[in-house]
Amino acid sequence: MYLVSNDMTATLPARSSLRLVAGPGEQVAVRCTAGELWLIRDGDPKDTALTASECFTLSDAGHVELYAITAASLHVTRRKSVAHHARGAWRHRLWRWLAPRRHGYPGAGR
């Protein structure tokens, strides 16, 4: 199963899995609300175990496989990182500054 929404609550039966994908500039936070989860991250030799009320944040692009050791409930929050927003805001301000003016330039057409 793949995560497609920005904010999600799910319940996984024992021995089932959920794959999370974080894109560039995204942070994905997983909070275990009940049961036990095992997090397997692509390229990371160290796996992480979460029990009720523990949280894990994936702060860069990549994949995480969540495996329910026992029946588990979890809450997933996906958001753009602050650095990504700052780059986007800078581009937007530059675009607005360079965009043609609707009212023309002062003194033009006189």
Q: Is 15 left (phi over 0), alpha (psi -120 to 50) or beta?
A: left
Two tokens at 42?
């692509």
- Compare 78 and 50 and report the one with higher pLDDT: 50
Q: Answer whether residue 88 shows pLDDT above 70.
A: no
- Rounded to whole angstroms, how far apart are CA atoms 8 and 20? 11
Assign domain 7-98 one CATH number from 2.60.120.10, 3.40.50.720, 2.60.40.680, 1.10.3720.10: 2.60.120.10
Average pLDDT over residues 85-105: 60
Q: What is the largest CA-CA distance in the chain?
A: 77
pTM: 0.65
Parse the chain into domains and list their residue ranges.
Answer: 7-98
Q: For residue range 22-57, list pLDDT tens digits in order.
A: 888 888 899 999 999 999 987 888 899 999 999 998
